[in-house]
Amino acid sequence: MRSVHVSISGRVQGVGFRAWLARTAAAQDLSGWVRNRRTGEVEAVLCGSEGAVEAVLTAAHVGPAGARVDEVLILGDAAPVDGAFEVIATV
């Protein structure tokens, strides 16, 4: 199992990135969360099997149509999150 905290920058707000990431993570059976940051980034915690987390990280480098991803930065390990993957409030 792997649990990582990530920050995604570029044109990632206003293009459906959070909903897309939530669907992509749920399809890989990940738990965790995603949210917008007032600074313009999208922040997420991805928890699940090593392969599933890597698949979502790889997909996040492209994102949904309309997005322009400049960087996917792994901020470090995160405390594991149980339950369904969810979109949470902006901070």
List active site positions: 18, 36
Q: Based on the number of CB atoms within 10 Å of its own CB, is 14 exposed (0-12), middle (13-18) or buried (19 or more)?
A: exposed
**23 — phi, psi (to 5°)?**
-65, -40
